């Protein structure tokens, strides 16, 4: 097993685990969670090893089936994909560990297929990130989407309907991607990313290329819930089980954003991409999403729905960074993918913990008994909320910092204004929750004890993942310069 | 104008299919009809790939001794066909998952009319 | 030209961390009040000692510096104990010692809930304040400044009443808007000047940034720090935040929060924009205009407040703008006077707040109109109150006289007669809103048939200490004056400042 196999091994680890879970689960159900965590840990370890390896000695490529590209499919572990895959695997692992308890209470009897689907979901996401072939990316996109539908469909009574709407929108998105890809393929005659980029730079007629890119862009915008194509997201995330949401929400949209980055700055020449109105449109839709998502989040009484709208807003930050098409914008987008994955995962984990202990995550029913009952979970939530608002030295502050630098570089005042406004709006909706969690007394006549299903802090298997993410926010914040210098800058595409 | 229509009639046909499919997905109230729209959309895209692979006078992409290997232009492009096999599989699986969801929805609400569903969810 | 040389030392970092560590220990020993209070006092004393240890270096032109790690490529999290930083840190850490003692007495006497959170937040506030003082660049400053905003929130909402929550929301709205604008200003500075390092005399000289850009950055940054500095119309949160317990008000007004704002103004004027740019681009005039208007308006509003703490709050708003006005004068005496007023106002205002707290704890009285005859019940407290009130009105030998004298001298140096008029008028208004209180307390018969009693010793002693301190600093202002002179010399003689370097590099 040499390092050269790493790119293929990562998705494979999840795929094999998915099968093992089904097999072992049929024999003894209790084995499934252990297997899932083991598989996810293996994936995370491999991904981190890949990250170290790539940082030390450059990209790795694996030719599937021994067919050399461009004919064969290659899996590529370069700076960006190694970074992205590390984010996906680590956050996925943390969410799975936390989900062990909530799945058992929220969706008993369906734990084995749930975990199996989680593994397939992660197979799909890592595959999307690692593949060097645009059609293969579509296949992995659909693998991850189908698994995501399965993960989100179990939960409350409304979950199947919300998921159905996500399914139709998601399929439309994937179909648009496939449609756009046809234009590129017919123009260039190849599907290999590196090859395609080379050929497209020689192609004379731009109209079909731009047509293709537009359709692919719209497809990915649907998958990443870019405003105004975000309609499916709040329902899907709210109605699903806690474990389902905390696995899908931090990762699903990010990988679609990754595809945009890959497409515009690696497959295409950045010089070419910069001139596209499409990219500018992505940026401005992102800005609109930042504001719209925040405003909608303020109006939500349900914590998970609020967090879902907040995701719409945060995805807007990433899109805005992409839209600037500058090194600083790229850095801001990539850093925010990481930061937001951590923040949002942490927040959704706490929402899951609340559902386990209180049986609901309805904001108006929170009161300050929570701060005594679940001090650590509440502290983690507070820290993640501060990070979302962008208080230094948490990670979220530095996302804002790089985005502000990037916006100033191009004198993009709209983005700057949105940045300031959005952090205030974030403060409004997060402090609304924090105030209830920490300060508002329980209503008269209702004791604190009956409201709690089980009193006290959540078990360690849920607390540790939450605290790891919360602590991670401080580490990522203080270490952001290291990340940017050693990981993100080296991955900057040539010519950006 | 007519010439243009003649030369590209496949594309016009596919474009109208796409629009019909997308319209069905968005405008139909019945969830099954939405799925039908979705399938039409997917099929139109699959056909688009295949039309793109077509070469005038080309044979099916299976090795034929009479045509030989010297001139690849004698065959239609085989790659899109194989790719679309995968896409069809994906489409079928998606359809399966969607029907599973529809069954679950029907079980808990007893209807598949979207507006009625939204009404009952409140 | 930098008028001091730097040497590596972790001392500034320790000074920041000591209260952060204390906050952790306070939370850990939450159930044992005695231990918790020991940590608070020990940290306060240790911090003061650490800052005091930096004073000789700062006076001798040597600044301790510690550069940690990069927090953005090219910008490090760095602390530097330059004269201005030491000056402010000395004020904050010195008064924290007194406030800690007083707080312990206050919360014990008042039976406040959530004391652990209270003391922990207090400690974090102090860490952030010292961080603000020692920040070597604008990004580090921003990090600590935002931390300070946030750490103050639990103190503002301490009572957890709806009124307190509303005040907390208002405070956050102001503070976070300010933080956001300061973030933009910082990023823009980085873009325009290529550095964020605080340098005496400013960093924009020779950067090629256009005047429009610099003006825009200045306005953004000014709103950023102006909120904490209470420059009108950005002062709205301050009177509302008066719902907090009195030691918190003392902290807000005298020790940490608002002083970080005015400190920020001085940093910006002297070390980011520089005197020359301030003058040439007309920024100083804008600053002086707002400050002057604030001085007068705040004093007028203070006259009409019946709630004692609100009256003190508006008085604070006014006096903060003295400091801003002094900095905007860009003359040696003006800047020295501004800095001296930073410390002098701190000691006097903390005295007044301590007195207000003592009155509340022993007599449960909040309004000026209820204070008839209080002086006979609480002679020590009201004696101290009188001393501080005299000082704020500018009567010698209390320290307020010294700084006001220097400020007036500064207006003459700068040739700003309008500013002089503002200062003199405000002195009269100060007398007008403070002396009625003194008059009521000592010269009117008490309406209460029951005699009240003096506050507990643990409160009276800090009150006496700060009152004596106010007088002592009036008689012997040498230490702070020397530090202020070191700052002034650096700022006004730096690149682009003063007479020595009329033309920028």
pLDDT tens string A181-194: 998 888 888 888 88
Q: Which residues of chain A make contact with C72, given a CB cutoff of 8 A?
A: 398, 401-402, 480-481, 484
Instruction: Determine the pLDDT at residue A444.
Output: 65
Q: What pLDDT score does A346 carry?
A: 92
How high is the pLDDT of residue C254?
65
Contact A156, A245 (CB under 8 A): no
If you search the block for the tokens 């006001």, which residue do you land on? C404
Query: What pLDDT does A257 receive?
Result: 92
The answer to whether A439 contacts C160, with C-beta atoms less than 8 Å apart, is: yes
Identify whether the C-beta of residue C262 lies closer than 8 Å to the C-beta of residue C186. no
- CB nearest to A400's CB, from C71, C183, C188: C183
Tens digit of each residue's pLDDT (9 = 90 or more) over A231-288? 888 888 888 888 888 899 889 889 999 999 998 888 888 888 887 888 889 999 999 9
Q: Which residues 180-219 of chain C have a CB within 8 Å of chain A?
A: 180-181, 183-184, 187-188, 190-191
- CB spacing of A401 vs C187 below 8 angstroms: yes
- Tell me the per-residue pLDDT of C220-279, one tens digit each, with 9 for 90 and over: 998 888 888 888 888 888 888 877 777 777 776 666 788 888 899 888 888 888 888 888
Chain A nearest-CA distance from B37, in A, is: 10
Q: What is the pLDDT of residues C485-502, one digit of tens each?
A: 878 877 777 544 333 333
- Give every CB contact of residue A149 below 8 A, 6+ residues apart in sequence: A163, A166, A167, A170, B97, B101
Q: State residue A448's pLDDT score.
A: 47
Output the CA torsion sign for A169, A333, A134, A268: positive
Q: A60: helix, coil or strand?
A: strand
Burial of C29 (0-12, 13-18, 19+ CB in 10 A): middle
pLDDT bin (cut points 50, 70, 90) of residue A449 is very low
**A413 touches C: beta carbon within 8 Å:** no
From C143's Cα to the closest Cα of chain A, the distance in A is 5
* Cβ-nearest to B104 among A135, A160, A178: A160
Query: What kind of fold does domain B2-121 have according to CATH?
Result: Helix Hairpins (1.10.287)
Q: Which residues in chain C are closer than 8 Å to A427, comparing Cβ atoms?
A: 172-173, 176
Cβ count within 10 A of residue C437:
23
Q: What are the b/e assignments for C245-263, b being 16+ CB within 10 Å?
A: bbbbbbbbbbbbbbbbbbb
pLDDT truncated to tens, each residue of chain B (122 aa)?
A: 566 666 678 888 888 999 999 999 888 888 999 999 999 999 999 999 888 888 777 778 777 777 777 777 778 888 888 889 999 999 999 999 999 999 998 888 888 888 888 887 76
In chain C, which residue's Cα lies nearest the Cα of A415? C184
Matching residue, tokens 């019945």: B30
Neighbors of chain A with 3 or more C-beta pairs under 8 Å: B, C
Q: Which two tokens stand for residue A246?
A: 């905390």
* Distance from the A312 Cα atom to the nearest Cα atom in chain B, whole angstroms: 22
Strand partners, C197: C137
What is the pLDDT, as a whole number, of residue C502? 31
Q: How far is A204 from chain B (nearest CA, A)?
A: 19
- Whether the CB of A404 is below 8 Å from some CB of chain C: the reply is yes
Whether C109 and chain A come into contact, CB under 8 Å, resolves to no
Q: Chain A closest CA to B85's CA: distance in Å?
A: 11
Residue A290, pLDDT score: 92
Q: How does DSSP classify residue C270?
A: I
Averaged pLDDT of chain B: 85
User: Does the CA dihedral C437-C438-C440-C446 come out positive or negative?
Assistant: positive
pLDDT at position C503: 31
In tens, the pLDDT along C420-432 reads: 888 888 888 888 8
Task: Give the neighbours of chain C: at least 3 Cβ pairs within 8 Å.
Answer: A
**A427 touching chain C per CB within 8 A:** yes
Nearest CA in chain A to C175: A424
Helices C478-493 and C33-59 cross at an angle (nearest 10°) of: 60
| CB within 8 Å: B90 and A142 | yes
pLDDT computed for residue A236 by the predictor: 87
The residues in A 185-244 lying below 8 A from B, measured between CB atoms, are 185-186
- Contact call for residues C3 and C494 (beta carbons, < 8 A): yes
A contacts of C172 (beta carbons < 8 Å): 427, 431
Domain residue ranges of chain B, discontinuous segments joined by +: 2-121
Residue C112 scores a pLDDT above 70: no
Rounded Cα distance between A164 and A149, Å, is 8
Q: How far is CA A28 from the centre of its chain?
A: 32
Q: How many CB pairs under 8 A join A and B?
A: 70
The pLDDT, as a whole number, for residue A319 is 93
Report the share of chain A in percent with pLDDT over 70: 97
From chain A, pick out residues whose CB is under 8 angstroms from the CB of C184. Answer: 404, 408, 416, 419-420
DSSP summary character for residue C283:
H
Bridge partners of B30, per DSSP, are B113
Q: Return the pLDDT at A368.
A: 81
Q: Say whether residue C161 is in contact with chain A using an 8 A CB cutoff.
A: no
Name the closest residue on chain B to residue A135, using Cα atoms: B83
How many CB atoms lie under 10 A from the CB of residue A242?
A: 29
- Contact call for B94 and A168, based on CB within 8 A: no
For chain A, what is the mean pLDDT?
87
Give the pLDDT mean for A325-330.
89
CB-CB under 8 Å, A163 with B45: no
Q: What angle do CA A156, A162, A166 make, to 5 degrees?
A: 140
Best residue of B19, B22, B105 to probe chain A, by most A CBs closer than 10 Å:
B105
pLDDT at A203 over 80: no
What is the average pLDDT across A424-440?
Answer: 87
Best CA proximity match to A330, nearest among A383, A402, A263, A425: A402
Q: What is the mean pLDDT of residues C210-218?
A: 86
Judging contact as 3 or more Cβ pairs under 8 Å, the answer for B and C is no
What pLDDT is stored for residue C166 in this prediction? Answer: 87
- Judge whether A31 is closer than 8 Å to chain B, CB to CB: no
β-strands A60-63, A74-77: how paired?
A: antiparallel
Which residues make Cβ contacts (< 8 Å) with residue C205, sequence separation at least 6? Answer: C274, C276, C277, C495, C496, C504, C505
Contacts of A142 in chain B (CB under 8 A): 90, 93-94
Question: What Å distances lie between residue C452 and A148, C376, C439, CA to CA?
Answer: 71, 9, 18
| pLDDT tens-place string over residues A37-67 | 999 999 999 999 989 988 888 888 888 888 8
Q: Measured between alpha carbons, how far is A492 from C110 in angstroms, rounded to an integer? A: 60
Kindly give, in sequence order, each residue whose CB lies less than 8 Å from that of residue A321, ignoring residues fewer than 6 positions away: A286, A329, A330, A331, A332, A333, A334, A336, A402, A403, A406
Spell A115-124 as b/e; 16+ CB within 10 A means b. bbbbbbbbbb
Q: Which residues contact C229 (CB under 8 A, 6 or more apart)?
A: C258, C261, C262, C264, C265, C320, C321, C323, C324
CA–CA separation, C152 vs C124, rounded Å? Answer: 9
Percent of chain C with pLDDT over 70: 94
Q: What is the mean pLDDT of residues A118-141?
A: 93
A358-401 pLDDT tens trace = 888 888 888 888 888 888 888 899 999 999 998 888 898 999 99
Contacts of A64 (CB under 8 A, 6+ apart): A8, A72, A73, A74, A75
From the list A424, A439, A440, the residue facing C176 with the nearest CB is A424
Contacts A441 to C, Cβ<8 Å: 160
Residue A453 has pLDDT above 70, yes or no: no
Structure-block tokens of residue C398: 């209390």
Residues of B with Cβ-Cβ distance to A175 under 8 angstroms:
41-42, 45
Kindly tell me the sign of the dihedral angle through the C-alpha atoms of C342, C344, C348, C351.
positive
Cβ of B41 and A175 within 8 Å? Answer: yes
Got the DSSP string for C195-260? Answer: --B--TT-S-TTS---HHHHHHHHHHHHHHHHHHHT-TTS-THHHHGGGS-HHHHHIIIIISHHHH
Instruction: Give the strand order in the sheet containing C62-72.
Output: C5-8, C62-72, C75-81
Q: Report the share of chain A in percent with pLDDT over 90.
A: 39
Among residues A135, A44, A39, the alpha carbon closest in space to that of A82 is found at A44
A439/C165 Cβ within 8 A: yes
**Selected residue of C27, C28, C71 to mutate for chain A interface (largest A Cβ count, 10 A):** C71
Interface of A with B in 112-151 (CB under 8 A): 135, 138-139, 142, 146, 149-150
CB contact under 8 A, A168 and B25: yes
Instruction: Tell me if residue C53 falls in helix, strand or coil.
Output: helix
- Please say whether the beta carbons of A481 and C78 come within 8 A: no
Report whether pLDDT(A300) > 80: yes
| Burial of residue B69 (number of CB atoms within 10 Å: 0-12, 13-18, 19+) | exposed
Cα(C122)–Cα(A344) distance, integer angstroms = 30
- Distance between CA atoms of C359 and C505, rounded to whole angstroms? 57
Nearest-Cα residue of chain B relative to residue A170: B94
CB atoms within 10 A of CB A201: 12
Is the per-residue pLDDT at C194 higher than 70?
yes
């Amino acid at each position: 097993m040499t390092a050269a196999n790493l790119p293929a091994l990562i998705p494979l680890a999840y795929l094999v685990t998915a099968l093992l879970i089904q097999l072992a689960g049929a024999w003894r159900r209790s084995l499934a969670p252990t297997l899932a965590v083991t598989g996810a840990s293996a994936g995370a370890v491999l991904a981190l090893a890949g990250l170290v390896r790539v940082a030390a000695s450059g990209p790795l490529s694996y030719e599937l089936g021994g067919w050399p590209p461009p004919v064969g499919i290659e899996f590529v572990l370069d700076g960006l994909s190694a970074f992205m895959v590390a984010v996906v695997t680590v956050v996925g692992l943390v969410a799975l560990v936390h989900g062990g308890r909530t799945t058992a209470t929220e969706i008993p009897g369906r734990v084995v297929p749930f975990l199996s689907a989680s593994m397939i979901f992660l197979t799909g996401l890592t595959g999307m990130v690692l593949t060097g072939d645009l059609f293969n990316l579509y296949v992995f996109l659909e693998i991850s989407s189908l698994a995501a539908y399965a993960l989100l469909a179990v939960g409350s009574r409304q979950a199947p309907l919300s998921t159905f709407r996500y399914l139709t929108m998601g399929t439309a998105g994937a179909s648009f991607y496939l449609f756009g890809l046809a234009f590129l393929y017919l123009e260039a005659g190849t599907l290999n990313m590196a090859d395609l980029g080379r050929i497209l730079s020689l192609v004379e007629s731009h109209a079909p290329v731009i047509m293709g890119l537009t359709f692919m862009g719209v497809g990915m915008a649907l998958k990443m819930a870019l405003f105004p194509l975000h309609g499916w997201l709040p329902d899907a995330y709210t109605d699903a089980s806690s474990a389902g949401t905390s696995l899908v929400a931090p990762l699903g949209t990010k990988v679609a954003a990754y595809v945009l980055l890959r497409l515009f700055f690696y497959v295409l020449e950045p010089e070419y991409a910069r001139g596209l109105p499409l990219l500018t449109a992505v940026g401005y839709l992102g800005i609109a999403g930042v504001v719209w998502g925040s405003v909608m989040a303020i109006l939500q009484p349900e914590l998970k729905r609020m967090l879902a709208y907040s995701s719409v807003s945060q995805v807007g930050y990433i899109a805005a960074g992409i839209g600037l098409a500058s090194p600083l914008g790229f850095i801001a987008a990539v850093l925010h993918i990481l930061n937001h994955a951590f923040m949002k995962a942490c927040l959704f984990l706490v929402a899951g913990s609340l559902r386990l202990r209180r049986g609901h995550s309805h904001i108006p029913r929170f009161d300050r008994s929570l701060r005594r009952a679940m001090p650590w979970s509440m502290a983690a939530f507070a820290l993640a909320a501060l990070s979302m608002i962008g208080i230094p030295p948490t990670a979220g502050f530095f996302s804002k910092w790089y985005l502000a630098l990037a916006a100033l570089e191009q004198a993009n005042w709209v983005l700057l204004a949105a940045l300031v406004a959005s952090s205030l709006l974030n403060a409004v909706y997060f402090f609304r929750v924090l105030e209830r969690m920490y300060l508002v007394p329980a209503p008269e006549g209702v004791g604190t004890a009956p409201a709690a299903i089980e009193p006290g802090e959540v078990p360690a298997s849920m607390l540790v993942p939450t605290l790891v993410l919360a602590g991670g926010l401080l580490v990522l914040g203080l270490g952001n310069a290291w990340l940017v210098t050693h990981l993100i800058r080296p991955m900057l595409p040539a010519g950006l | 104008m007519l010439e243009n229509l003649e030369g590209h009639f496949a594309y016009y046909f596919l474009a109208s299919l796409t629009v019909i499919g997308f319209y069905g997905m968005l405008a139909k109230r019945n969830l099954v009809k939405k799925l039908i729209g979705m399938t039409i959309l997917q099929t139109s895209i699959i056909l688009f790939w295949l039309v793109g692979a077509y070469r005038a006078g080309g044979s099916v992409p299976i090795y034929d001794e009479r045509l030989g290997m010297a001139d690849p232009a004698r065959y239609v492009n085989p790659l899109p066909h194989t790719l679309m096999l995968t896409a069809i599989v994906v489409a079928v699986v998606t359809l399966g998952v969607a029907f599973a969801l529809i069954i679950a929805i029907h079980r808990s609400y007893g209807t598949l009319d979207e507006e009625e569903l939204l009404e009952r969810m409140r | 030209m930098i008028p001091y040389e730097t040497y590596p030392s972790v001392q500034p970092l320790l000074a920041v961390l000591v209260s952060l560590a204390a906050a952790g220990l306070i939370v850990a020993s939450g159930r044992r009040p005695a231990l918790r209070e020991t940590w608070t006092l020990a940290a306060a004393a240790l911090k003061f000692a650490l800052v005091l240890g930096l004073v000789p270096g700062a006076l001798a032109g040597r600044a301790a510096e510690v550069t940690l790690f990069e927090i953005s490529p090219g910008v490090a999290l760095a602390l530097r104990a330059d004269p201005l930083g030491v000056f402010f840190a000395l004020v904050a850490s010195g008064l924290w010692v007194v406030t800690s003692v007083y707080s312990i007495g206050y919360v014990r006497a008042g039976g406040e809930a959530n004391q652990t959170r209270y003391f922990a937040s207090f400690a974090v506030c102090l860490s952030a304040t010292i961080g603000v003082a020692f920040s070597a660049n604008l990004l580090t400053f921003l990090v600590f400044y935002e931390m300070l905003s946030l750490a103050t929130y639990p103190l503002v909402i301490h009572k957890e009443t709806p009124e307190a929550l509303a005040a907390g929301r208002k405070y956050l709205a102001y503070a976070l808007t300010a933080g956001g604008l300061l973030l933009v200003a910082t990023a823009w500075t980085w873009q325009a000047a290529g550095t964020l390092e605080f340098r005496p005399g400013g960093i924009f000289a020779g950067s090629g940034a256009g005047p429009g850009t610099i003006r825009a950055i200045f306005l953004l940054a000014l709103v950023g720090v102006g909120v904490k500095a209470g420059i009108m119309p950005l002062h709205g949160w301050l009177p509302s935040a008066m719902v907090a317990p009195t030691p918190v008000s003392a902290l807000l007004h005298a020790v940490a929060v608002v002083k970080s704002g005015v400190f920020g103004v001085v940093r910006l004027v002297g070390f980011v924009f520089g005197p020359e740019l301030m003058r040439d681009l007309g920024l100083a005039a804008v600053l002086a205009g707002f400050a002057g208007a604030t001085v007068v308006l705040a004093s007028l509003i203070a006259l009409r407040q019946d709630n004692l703490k609100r009256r003190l709050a508006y008085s604070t708003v006014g006096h903060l703008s003295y400091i801003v006005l002094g900095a905007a004068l860009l003359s040696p005496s003006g800047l020295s006077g501004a800095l001296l007023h930073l410390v002098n106002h701190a000691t006097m205002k903390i005295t007044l707040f301590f007195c207000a707290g003592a009155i509340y704890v022993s007599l449960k009285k909040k309004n000026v109109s209820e204070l008839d005859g209080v002086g006979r019940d609480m002679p020590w407290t009201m004696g101290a109150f009188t001393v501080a009130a005299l000082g704020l009105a500018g009567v010698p030998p209390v320290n307020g006289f010294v700084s006001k004298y220097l400020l007036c001298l500064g207006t003459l140096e700068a040739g700003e007669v309008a500013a002089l008029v503002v200062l003199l008028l405000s002195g009269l208004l100060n007398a007008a809103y403070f002396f009625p209180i003194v008059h009521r307390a000592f010269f009117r018969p008490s309406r209460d048939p029951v005699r009240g009693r003096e506050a507990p010793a643990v409160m009276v002693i800090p009150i006496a200490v700060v009152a004596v301190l106010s007088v002592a600093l009036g008689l012997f202002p040498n230490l702070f004056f020397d530090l202020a002179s070191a700052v002034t010399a650096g700022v006004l003689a730096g690149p682009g400042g003063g007479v020595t370097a009329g033309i920028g590099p």
